Structure 1
Amino acid sequence: MITFEFKKIKKSAIPIILVVFNLIGTLLGTMVFALNRSVLREGTQSLVLWGQTVFYASQIFTPILIGIICSISCQFEESNKNWQRLLTIPIQLSRIVLAKIASLSLVMAISQVLVLLFYITNALILKVPILDHLIDFCLWSITGWLGSITIVTIQLFISIRLKNFAVPILISAILALVGLMTLFIGTSLFKVFPYAQVIIGIHGRSLSPFTTPDRILFWFLNAFYIIFFYGLAVRQLKQRFI
């Protein structure tokens, strides 16, 4: 099932969208860093560059990117009536949804690798030393990816529920902005908001490792969101076709 999903992804515009969104997001943050570099202390520039580079990419562009790829993936099934065809083969609906989540999560893993590579490239161009924190950045990219799986699961449910291409993308953009607003409302709300989990996981704001309570909260919340919305997505398909 996952191989089949990847074949559909390769034939779509998703690979191009993946590169363009991450390139724009990381370049925007890098430009902000370059404009303010003169006021930064030596020894902190690699962390500040990381925070600036991943901030726009993970807080704004990534949720919208996920909204787009989930809508594209689901429209394959809606436009060609593939949902009905999939139901004719002896595969449980739960496995069909799981294959969708797994394939799109792998796409987002590629997305996080691109962000990391763009960061390293920008650091080399700007001559910012990053070796002291490179392992941290790699680990933070992994937890940022885990946070993206939460949004993938939510957006997949929304796309299945609405059966529409544009509206789920609009919802992802609105929720991305709401996630940004939670930064100004309060830290507690920001930490639990599902569309803020990518930037929390990638440490784009804290620029420091998780404390033990924050680590437990991050893993618990993302596990809960993924399981909960996965169940809703399966239930929605059952209500539509069974």
Structure 2
Amino acid sequence: MLRSVTTEWFKLRHSRISLVLAILPVMSLVIGCFNFYFNQAALQNGWYSLWTQVSLFYGEFFLPILIAICCAFVCRLEHNNRNWNLILTSPVSVSSVFMAKLIIVSLLIFIVQTLFMVMYWSAGQLFSISGAFPTETIVWGFRGWLSSVAIAALQLGFSIRIRSFAAPIGISLCAVFLGLVMYVAKIGMLFPYSLLTIGMSVLSQRDLTPAENLSFFFMNVTFIALFAAWSIHRLKHKDMALS
């Protein structure tokens, strides 16, 4: 497993994925800061008001798209020149191949989440927001990362099966709107994209109850396990479709 993870990491060394990882969070933060700056008369809740502005575009749109891009990117080399055939006939297990890709994507998203939190704190300093930095936003960032891993497990399954780079990203964008519908319908716990909205407290900064937190973590872990098992199963039994 460690060798597979190391191999996946080396594949990214000379890529430009780092530019995408930086550009999308910066774009979302800039948009949110502009909204906050021009609506400060109505936004009187300090750090929390800033969070509603910067996390809205990031958590609802940019982050899901970024996850899909990362998943498509880590599968791009295998789709070129039918490299899946070479990998699936190597002594490395299919499970290791998938889990290594999921670990790498999870690590990339963790870096992005950390960058976003640092930029959020920096924006608050720039606007001279009074009061202590709200530590609960760190919890929101972590919960957002956990939901991102669940989404990544699903998106990796799509990216492995679909040779097109853009198609899985389009699927992610459609799932974002479906997630919004399910969130509004109060059934967001049943869909990973809605869990991202809930976890990052994008649309509501209401604290989750202990029972809701437990349900949130349980559903994310369940989705990760189910999507990983589904993707690995398809790789094992439908590998010829990748030729």
TM-score under structure 2 length normalisation? 0.91
Secondary structure of 2:187 counterpart: helix
Aligned residues of 2:72 and 2:156 also touching (Cα < 8 A): yes
| Aligned equivalent of 1:203 | 201
| Aligned equivalent of 1:114 | 115
Stretch deviating more after TM superposition (75-84 or 140-149):
75-84
| Aligned equivalent of 1:71 | 72
Over aligned residue pairs, what C-alpha RMSD do you find?
1.7
Give the count of matched residue pairs: 237
* 1:47 has 2:45 as partner: no
Cα distance in 1 for residues equivalent to 2:51 and 2:150? 22
* 1:16 has 2:19 as partner: yes
1:6 to 6, 9, 18: 9
Give, in angstroms, the shift of residue 193 of structure 1. Answer: 2.2
Give, in angstroms, the shift of residue 132 of structure 1. Answer: 4.2
Matches within 5 A, 1:80-229: 80-129=81-130, 131-133=132-134, 135-183=135-183, 185-186=184-185, 188-229=186-227
Secondary structure of 1:37 counterpart: coil
Secondary structure of 1:127 counterpart: coil
Cα distance in 1 for residues equivalent to 2:229 and 2:50? 39
Cα distance in 1 for residues equivalent to 2:180 and 2:194? 8
Give, in angstroms, the shift of residue 156 of structure 1. Answer: 0.3
- In structure 2, what residue type is equivalent to 1:146? L
Give, in angstroms, the shift of residue 117 of structure 1. Answer: 1.2
| Identity across the alignment (%) | 30
The change in CA–CA distance for 1:93 and 1:161 in structure 2 (over 3 A counts) is same
Secondary structure of 1:38 counterpart: coil
The gaps in structure 1 that reach 5 residues or longer are none
Deviations along 1:204-241, one digit per CA (max 9) or x if unpaired, are: 23324321121121111111111111011101111233
Q: Could you list the structure 1 runs, at least 4 aligned residues long, displaced by more than 4 angstroms after superposition.
A: none
Cα distance in 2 for residues equivalent to 1:130 and 1:141? 20
1:34 to 33, 37, 43: 37
| Aligned equivalent of 1:58 | 59
The change in CA–CA distance for 1:130 and 1:2 in structure 2 (over 3 A counts) is farther
Cα distance in 2 for residues equivalent to 1:112 and 1:14? 15
Give, in angstroms, the shift of residue 26 of structure 1. Answer: 1.7
Secondary structure of 1:138 counterpart: helix
Give, in angstroms, the shift of residue 130 of structure 1. Answer: 5.3
Aligned residues of 2:182 and 2:188 also touching (Cα < 8 A): yes
Aligned residues of 2:54 and 2:120 also touching (Cα < 8 A): yes
- In structure 2, what residue type is equivalent to 1:12? S
Deviations along 1:174-212, one digit per CA (max 9) or x if unpaired, are: 1112223444x42x2233321122232122233243211
- In structure 2, what residue type is equivalent to 1:109? F
* Higher helix fraction (1 or 2): 1
